[in-house]
Amino acid sequence: MPEAGDSLDDLRRDVEHFQHRMALKAAVAAMPAFEAERSTLEEKIAAANKLLEAAEKQHREVSNMKRKLADLDKQRTQLEQRMRKSDI
Protein backbone atom coordinates (compact mmCIF):
# COMPACT_ATOMS: atom_id res chain seq x y z
CA MET A 1 0.00 0.00 0.00
CA PRO A 2 2.80 2.39 -0.65
CA GLU A 3 0.51 4.39 -2.92
CA ALA A 4 -1.85 4.98 0.03
CA GLY A 5 1.04 6.03 2.24
CA ASP A 6 0.76 2.95 4.48
CA SER A 7 3.74 0.86 5.44
CA LEU A 8 3.75 -2.89 5.84
CA ASP A 9 3.74 -2.41 9.62
CA ASP A 10 0.64 -0.22 9.32
CA LEU A 11 -1.06 -2.93 7.28
CA ARG A 12 -0.11 -5.62 9.85
CA ARG A 13 -1.45 -3.45 12.67
CA ASP A 14 -4.71 -2.87 10.79
CA VAL A 15 -5.11 -6.59 10.08
CA GLU A 16 -4.45 -7.45 13.75
CA HIS A 17 -6.93 -4.80 14.82
CA PHE A 18 -9.52 -6.19 12.39
CA GLN A 19 -8.93 -9.77 13.63
CA HIS A 20 -9.30 -8.61 17.22
CA ARG A 21 -12.59 -6.85 16.40
CA MET A 22 -13.88 -9.96 14.63
CA ALA A 23 -13.00 -12.09 17.65
CA LEU A 24 -14.85 -9.66 19.93
CA LYS A 25 -17.84 -9.68 17.58
CA ALA A 26 -17.92 -13.50 17.68
CA ALA A 27 -17.71 -13.46 21.48
CA VAL A 28 -20.62 -11.01 21.69
CA ALA A 29 -22.65 -13.15 19.28
CA ALA A 30 -22.04 -16.22 21.47
CA MET A 31 -23.31 -14.49 24.64
CA PRO A 32 -26.97 -15.59 24.35
CA ALA A 33 -25.89 -19.24 24.17
CA PHE A 34 -23.65 -18.78 27.19
CA GLU A 35 -26.46 -17.10 29.12
CA ALA A 36 -28.82 -19.95 28.29
CA GLU A 37 -26.24 -22.48 29.43
CA ARG A 38 -25.64 -20.45 32.59
CA SER A 39 -29.37 -20.44 33.33
CA THR A 40 -29.56 -24.21 32.85
CA LEU A 41 -26.56 -24.75 35.11
CA GLU A 42 -28.02 -22.49 37.81
CA GLU A 43 -31.25 -24.52 37.71
CA LYS A 44 -29.29 -27.77 38.05
CA ILE A 45 -27.31 -26.33 40.95
CA ALA A 46 -30.50 -25.21 42.70
CA ALA A 47 -32.00 -28.69 42.29
CA ALA A 48 -28.81 -30.31 43.58
CA ASN A 49 -28.79 -27.94 46.57
CA LYS A 50 -32.36 -29.01 47.43
CA LEU A 51 -31.34 -32.67 47.27
CA LEU A 52 -28.31 -31.96 49.41
CA GLU A 53 -30.41 -30.12 52.01
CA ALA A 54 -32.87 -33.02 52.15
CA ALA A 55 -30.04 -35.54 52.52
CA GLU A 56 -28.43 -33.46 55.28
CA LYS A 57 -31.77 -33.22 57.10
CA GLN A 58 -32.26 -36.97 56.84
CA HIS A 59 -28.71 -37.52 58.09
CA ARG A 60 -29.35 -35.29 61.11
CA GLU A 61 -32.59 -37.11 61.89
CA VAL A 62 -31.00 -40.56 61.63
CA SER A 63 -28.01 -39.42 63.68
CA ASN A 64 -30.34 -38.08 66.38
CA MET A 65 -32.23 -41.39 66.45
CA LYS A 66 -28.95 -43.26 66.71
CA ARG A 67 -27.89 -41.11 69.68
CA LYS A 68 -31.27 -41.64 71.35
CA LEU A 69 -30.95 -45.40 70.89
CA ALA A 70 -27.45 -45.31 72.35
CA ASP A 71 -28.80 -43.35 75.34
CA LEU A 72 -31.60 -45.90 75.80
CA ASP A 73 -29.09 -48.76 75.63
CA LYS A 74 -27.00 -47.05 78.27
CA GLN A 75 -30.02 -46.52 80.50
CA ARG A 76 -31.06 -50.15 80.04
CA THR A 77 -27.57 -51.34 80.95
CA GLN A 78 -27.54 -49.14 84.06
CA LEU A 79 -30.99 -50.38 85.06
CA GLU A 80 -29.93 -54.00 84.59
CA GLN A 81 -26.86 -53.37 86.74
CA ARG A 82 -29.00 -51.80 89.49
CA MET A 83 -31.41 -54.72 89.34
CA ARG A 84 -28.56 -57.22 89.69
CA LYS A 85 -27.17 -55.35 92.67
CA SER A 86 -30.55 -55.27 94.37
CA ASP A 87 -30.94 -59.05 93.91
CA ILE A 88 -27.70 -59.69 95.77
Higher pLDDT, 86 or 49: 49
Cα separation, 65 vs 73, in Å, equals: 12
Domain residue ranges in the chain: 2-87
> Which of the four pLDDT bands, split at 50, 70 and 90, describes residue 87?
confident
Taking only the tens place, the pLDDT of each residue in 34-58 is: 999 999 999 999 999 999 999 999 9
Cα separation, 15 vs 3, in Å, equals: 18
Nearest to 14 by CA among 85, 4, 69: 4
Cα separation, 49 vs 43, in Å, equals: 10
pLDDT of residue 86: 86
Q: Is residue 2's pLDDT more than 70?
A: no
